[in-house]
Amino acid sequence: MLERRKKYIFDETGLEFRQVNYPLKVRLLRFIFWFVVSLTVSSVYILVFKLIFGSPKEKYLATEIQKLKLSYSLLERRFEESYSMVEYLKKEDEMRYRPVLQMDSIPSMYRNPGFGGVDHYSQYNGLYNSDLIINAHRNLDLLKNMIKVQEESFSEIEERKDEWKRENEHLPKISPVDVSIPLGEGIKFREHHPVLGTARWHYGQDFLTPYGTEVYATGSGTVVAAGWNNEGFGYHVIIDHGYGFRTIYAHLSKIDVSVGLNVKRGDRIGLSGNSGISSGPHLHYQIDYNGKHQNPLWFFSNDLTSEEYREMIMTLNSKSKFRK
């Protein structure tokens, strides 16, 4: 046990040293006083030092924060770039693809769902730079959703595009004979049938073809009739194009196809003639949609030259696997 430091005073009356004993309370108070003083002095010293120089760790952290803030703002810029790229795709989607393919636009509710307001990001509240972190998360969620919607939209468009392409190939959209061949009678009610002499509807468009003119399928489809018809068509071909469409090619002199054959637009199906009930060599061309007779002239434009028509038929034939 440490012996307490003793204090002595000189007693002049007794000419001797006498030991002084301070009471415990005083000793305790002195101790507390010095303790507090030293604590205060050292605290003040540390504080002043930090104020002037900052601790190395703090300095390091401050630099780190500056760096992080910088890279965050770079990230933000990259986010903006990505955002405008997706925005561009979105615009293409809404302004070009969907209108052309006759698709509805995506409801804005689905495109901009809004992310759960306050609660969704509450876990990041109270952190140092909370607003930066929350903003980054919100931006990423926004971008993620935009990309997801766009991805789904494009696969929908892709499907519709394939379907549209198929439909486009199948509908009867060209002239069945060279465009230089003059038109005969169109679809109409005729008071006097040229052969029968009785009043009767004319359900198609006639082309005044010289005997033996090449006749082409006007759209892809399946041959459902190829042969003689007693009702007046003579040698004729009927193609079912799907989508409710059928085309009839009548009064032929030669038939190149047989029932069940799949033909493509531009395939030669036969040669024109004068068979059946006909007043002279011509092609009777008929388009029926769900059994109703259509005006064939509405289904193709006649603005091609003869050369362009032949070129088109050659191009179509080069793609076709069907050969005569």
The residue ranges that bind Zn ion (CB under 5 A) are 204, 206, 284
Closer residue to Zn ion, CB minimum distance, 31 or 298: 298
Give the Cβ contact number of residue 148 at 10 Å. 10
CB of 219 to Zn ion, least distance (A): 19
245 vs 298: CA distance, rounded Å:
14
CB of 260 to Zn ion, least distance (A): 26
Closer residue to Zn ion, CB minimum distance, 204 or 234: 204
- Residue whose beta carbon is closest to Zn ion: 284
248 vs 216: CA distance, rounded Å:
11
Four-point Cα dihedral 151, 157, 159, 160, nearest 10: 160
Closer residue to Zn ion, CB minimum distance, 172 or 204: 204
Chain CA centroid to CA 71, Å: 31
CB of 202 to Zn ion, least distance (A): 6
222 vs 35: CA distance, rounded Å:
106
CB of 250 to Zn ion, least distance (A): 7
CB of 256 to Zn ion, least distance (A): 21
Closer residue to Zn ion, CB minimum distance, 179 or 187: 187
For residues 115-138, one letter each, b for 16 or more C-beta atoms within 10 angstroms of the residue's C-beta and e for the rest, the string is eeeeeebeebeeeeeeebbbbbee
Closer residue to Zn ion, CB minimum distance, 150 or 253: 253
